[in-house]
Structure 1
């Protein structure tokens, strides 16, 4: 096909191969870095489709500049970087990549939980620095995991997968969600509770809510003060759902025992003081970074884009209302 598409960062080979197979022009950001705003705008003009990352803001300006674009195919399960109502207004399809990263992200949440609770990063650093002089009864004591209470904030795909993996440690599971999760209740005996109860009673809290106006600072000073001083907070969802300044203060003052984070409020920047805290395990947004998961995400993003250019419904469409909109954009033949 004679389609002209732009990819804002080089994707894993399966996705790129699929794009090259179906599109005549596939231009890719040549730099191993985020595009500047101007670079992004300069490169999306006149494209039939664009594959975006969370680092690109798709707003009114972008929709106007991308005057021919039929679809913004987001390479992520989240799409808080995209103004979906504005895209719909302009007749532009938006897609994401859910499902394929559920297991990898929930695995990462557990990796963070174990790392911060058992002080793995802290003790690794200690050993590499040549400070280890032999076993000692009081050295690097951490928290216990087996038999404790796990609180899940947001019991969707990833939150459910996180909860299911608690079976090996015989944990009690609480969850807070707008909807009842009968599967978790049947399989684990999980109990749906209100937010305050979850924060007061859980030994581990794993956050899996999506980011929107109602969930910004979902965890703030109020929630942190509710937590047990022996409790741990894990976040693999989106950075702004936690008030990071309040979290730094809570970790410094010992309101909670620790935190494991893969996302940040002002990503890629960290809140001052966070990097220096030994009771915080911090990773650079790599929860989905397994070979298979990133390959599958690339394939799904490409499949979404190609379907839209063909005039078909993308497999993981975010804004279904656009399909029947009179101004829905289509590739001009």
Structure 2
């Protein structure tokens, strides 16, 4: 009997064709609507392999019912949506999809910085609503990006890719990381800084750390108060790293100039979320890796990981 694979969102047929040649494949029939909790629990109790999205929560309670499950391949770099300790205890391999989305995510982060600092969203809104009546000396003025300083919190692969883009804009790169990156310091003339020092000095702050117990809520009221009144905050890693209540207050009270957000504590972010009411927030729906080429590459890594584990091989991107 062939091993069974369940995929929690509808993926292109050409991507999953290699899986269908070797295994029994079941797939949720929607690309836009998440698999229901009931169906996910039913499938976990039966299947040999699971391909998950970052929006799928795979907790200890779910994994308790997994009798045949050998691998969970998560279509994301992060895997905080999966209880990896519980998976490890049950001997379930967990994989992710790193590297292939590095450059695409860095593109989005830098684009979001430009859009936020230069107020693209409010300018476009005024134009579309007929509010642009004439050119004015200070109309839609924002903050420069070129020649300014950027503070990168998290100098991993994406952080270094962002630093490379920043150097093209003649920006001074500050960074904060758990460990110093001497190669990055040399290549990008990057300067290591403690977090408080970075927040005080940077014209723009970009958050690129993974979501962990250590980073949860690491940017709150105290940290935002350290930033310049003219500074922008860009968050593209995971929701929960920034205290959204504190961020709302800081933006409304003009403690900082603006924020660009791709990630949120609750996703999808509620349409009535207070942050979405502010004109100095540029918000996009978690699209860091959203290019056709990159998403297909991520899916391909999922297919390869599942195939490797079910065929008794060691997967390339194993995290547990």
Give the TM-score range, shorter chain: over 0.9
Structure 1, 263-272 or 222-231: larger mean CA deviation: 263-272
> Secondary structure in 2 aligned to 1:15?
helix
Q: Offset of 1:27 from its aligned partner?
A: 0.7
**Structure 1 127/225 Cα, relative in aligned 2: closer, same or farther at 3 Å?**
same
Query: Is 2:72–2:94's contact at 8 Å kept on the other side of the alignment?
Result: yes
Q: Offset of 1:11 from its aligned partner?
A: 2.3
Distance across 1 between alignment mates of 2:100 and 2:14: 14
> Secondary structure in 2 aligned to 1:241?
coil
Query: Is 2:235–2:262's contact at 8 Å kept on the other side of the alignment?
Result: yes
Alignment match, 1:326: none
Deviation readout 1:83-127 (Å, 9 max, x if unpaired):
111100000000000101001111100111011111111111111
Alignment match, 2:95: 95
Structure 1, 9-18 or 105-114: larger mean CA deviation: 9-18
Alignment match, 1:123: 123
**Structure 1 10/40 Cα, relative in aligned 2: closer, same or farther at 3 Å?**
same
> Secondary structure in 1 aligned to 2:5?
strand
Query: Is 1:6–1:28's contact at 8 Å kept on the other side of the alignment?
Result: yes
Q: Compute the TM-score of the two structures, normalised by the length of structure 1.
A: 0.93
Query: Is 1:147–1:170's contact at 8 Å kept on the other side of the alignment?
Result: yes
Q: Offset of 1:17 from its aligned partner?
A: 2.3
- 1:264-303 matched pairs, under 5 angstroms: 264-270=264-270, 272-303=273-304
Alignment match, 1:37: 37
Q: Offset of 1:240 from its aligned partner?
A: 0.5
Distance across 1 between alignment mates of 2:300 and 2:54: 17
Query: Is 1:109–1:234's contact at 8 Å kept on the other side of the alignment?
Result: yes
Alignment match, 1:145: 145
- Unaligned 5+ runs, structure 1: 320-333
Q: Compute the TM-score of the two structures, normalised by the length of structure 2.
A: 0.96
Distance across 1 between alignment mates of 2:256 and 2:313: 50
Distance across 2 between alignment mates of 1:101 and 1:306: 21
Q: Offset of 1:13 from its aligned partner?
A: 4.4
Matched, 1:304 2:308: no
> Relative contact order (alpha carbons < 8 A, sep ≥ 6): 1 or 2 greater?
1
Distance across 2 between alignment mates of 1:17 and 1:226: 52
Q: How many residues are matched?
A: 318
Alignment match, 1:65: 65
Query: Is 2:174–2:202's contact at 8 Å kept on the other side of the alignment?
Result: yes
Alignment match, 1:322: none
> Secondary structure in 1 aligned to 2:240?
helix
Alignment match, 1:28: 27
Matched, 1:200 2:216: no
Matched, 1:245 2:207: no
Q: Offset of 1:134 from its aligned partner?
A: 2.0
Q: Offset of 1:55 from its aligned partner?
A: 1.6
Distance across 2 between alignment mates of 1:157 and 1:103: 9
Matched, 1:83 2:107: no
RMSD: 1.3
Alignment match, 1:325: none
Deviation readout 1:275-331 (Å, 9 max, x if unpaired):
111100000111111000000000001101110111111110001xxxxxxxxxxxx
> Secondary structure in 2 aligned to 1:152?
strand
Distance across 2 between alignment mates of 1:114 and 1:183: 26
- Unaligned 5+ runs, structure 2: none
